[in-house]
Structure formats: structure tokens, C-alpha cells
Amino acid sequence: MHIHTADFRVPAGKRLRLKKWATTIHRLYKSEQDYRRLLNAGVAELSALQRLLYASNNYSLLLVFQAMDAAGKDGAISHVLTGVNPQGCEVTSFKHPSAEELQHDFLWRTTRCLPARGRIGVFNRSYYEEVLIVRVHPEILLGQGIPDKLASDDKIWKGRYRSIVELEEHLHRSGTRVIKFFLHLSKEEQRKRLLARIDEPEKNWKFSEADLVERGFWDQYTRAFEECLSATSTKSAPWHVVPADDKYSARLIVSRVVIEALQSLKMTYPKLTVARQTELKAMRKHLMQ
């Protein structure tokens, strides 16, 4: 299997139309058994790179996942990162802002959760919610304590895009690599998955009436994603539009993008000084005695 990850990357500065991006591709595996083999190989490779990231302690990696409901964010995160040492990786899911979070700017709550050097951070939803769900439901702004003049200004979205891009550029300069995934699901596939949440008892807990309500805003969300991805995909923090109708292929693509991002850092294990080598030899001699 060879995945051309550049095929899924949103070019910086280009206007994006999601209808021109596939939600499904020729599957990247021959069978379910082959998928397991490929995924496990990716997990092993990613685990080794994560150990190197932790040992070199110069960079960190932030993975951002955004999508329509039922696109498979949770599954992609859990399967791709299943072999990574929990001490070196942290997943944060962002729901509705708390009362405390609403007392701060929209980037505050996510900034507190950024990964430290040597670690991988995963945002399941993120600060991008503030230019997606809030844009589709602008009435949410009324509860955010923003001055009325600012909340009613159409330029607020461009201002937020700028704040996000500047934050991500700052992170890049500081050694945090930001990789962003939009899991691109078709409306028909979402319908099937929502039905499965009703029809299959073990999935009932996943379904809520809100899923149907938000599905009614499909076109508005599509436009919001198009605007967002076009405005915030940059060379240093690119978006990847991942065809998500086939969960298995989507996971393999995400895995390869993350692996290539870590490989590009050209990391090495720390080299020991002569003094440290002498210390280790002395301690080894002591243990042997």
C-alpha cells in the first residue's frame, strides 16, 4: 500500500469546494485481515516515532480532528493511536464551553491543553468550533459575553480566522507541528450511520435528537467548513480532507499523514557526552560488582 498524502492536503491560499473532494476512494486494503495488518504496522511505526519524539524532547505534535456528526473521529483517534504510550499522548475532547471558559477569549480553553515538548496532543473538536458551529448558529455569540458591536459585525469570522492562523504559526515557530484532519463524510453515509445508532442496541447510547437537528443544517455546515478550510490551511499547519465513507481507509490515511509528519522532523536520540559515557561505565562497573 502506498498513500500519496499530498492528494488529501488542502493547498494554502486556495478556495475549496467540498463537492469536488471525494468522500470515498478505492479502498486501500484487500480484506479486513489486510486492513488489520496495515493498521498494526502503522501503529508500530507510530509508536517508535513517538518514543523518539519523547526522547529528543524538541518538538511536539498537535492533531486536530473536525467533521460532521458520525464521521468517525473517535474511531480514527482510538485506532490510529492505540499503540502510543499514554504518557506521551493526550486526547482532549471539547464540548460546550463551561461558564469559566466563556469568561475568556475563544482560544483560551484550548490553549491550556496544548501538548508539551516531546508529546502528541489530539483535539477531538477544537477552537475551530468557534468558526463552525458558532457560525451556523450565530445566536451562540450572544451567550459568550462578547460586546454587542463585535458580535454583530460580519468581520468577526475573518478576525477569528486570522487569530487561529497566527496562533498556529506561533506554535510552528515554537516547535509544535499542527496537523489538521477534516473527515469528509457524505450525507447519505451519515444517514446510514445514524440509522445504525438507532437500530443496533450497542450503538443506541451514541444517538441523540441533536444529531437530527444538526443534520438539518447540512448545507450551512458545508459552507462553514469550506470557508474555514480555505482560510486556515497553511503550509505550516495544513488541513487534510480525508474521505470518510470508508472508515478503514480513512484510518489508514490518517495514520500515514501522522507518520510522515513525525518523520519529517529528522529526530535523533540524544547523544551522550564523553563525561556522561564515563559516568555510565562507572555505574555499570558498580552494578557488575
Average pLDDT over residues 94-118: 94
Q: Are strands 120-124 and 60-67 parallel, antiparallel or unpaired?
A: parallel
Residue 92, strand partner residues: 123
Check: CB of residue 76 under 8 Å from CB of residue 250: yes
Please give the residue that has the higher pLDDT: either 234 or 151: 234
Mean pLDDT of the chain: 94
Q: What is the pLDDT, as a whole number, of residue 86? A: 83
Share of the chain above pLDDT 90, in %: 81
Q: What is the pLDDT, as a whole number, of residue 218? A: 97
Q: Using only the alpha carbons of the chain, give its radius of gyration.
A: 21
Statement: residue 1 has pLDDT above 70: no
Q: What is the pLDDT, as a whole number, of residue 85? A: 86
Statement: residue 150 has pLDDT above 80: no
Using alpha carbons, list the distances in angstroms from residue 207 to 151, 191, 199, 200, 220.
32, 12, 10, 11, 22
* DSSP-assigned letter for residue 9: B
User: Domains of the chain by range and CATH?
Assistant: 5-288 (3.40.50.300)
- Nearest Cα residue to 127 out of 70, 171, 84, 71: 171
What pLDDT digit, counting tens, does each position of 14-30 carry? 999 999 999 999 999 99
Residue labelled with grid coordinates 499514554: 86
Q: Rounded distance, CA 45 to CA 40, Å?
A: 9
Please give the residue that has the higher pLDDT: either 145 or 136: 136
Phi, psi of 3 (to 5 degrees): -110, 125
Going across the sheet that includes 239-243, the strands are 89-93, 120-124, 60-67, 176-184, 239-243
Please give the residue that has the higher pLDDT: either 233 or 289: 233
Q: Rounded distance, CA 106 to CA 217, Å?
A: 23
Supply the DSSP string of 54-104, one letter for each residue.
HHH-S-EEEEEEEESTTS-HHHHHHHHTTTS-GGGEEEEE--SPPTTGGGS
Q: Rounded distance, CA 238 to CA 112, Å?
A: 22
Check: CB of residue 182 under 8 Å from CB of residue 239: yes
Q: Which helix (H) or strand (E) holds 162?
A: helix 156-173
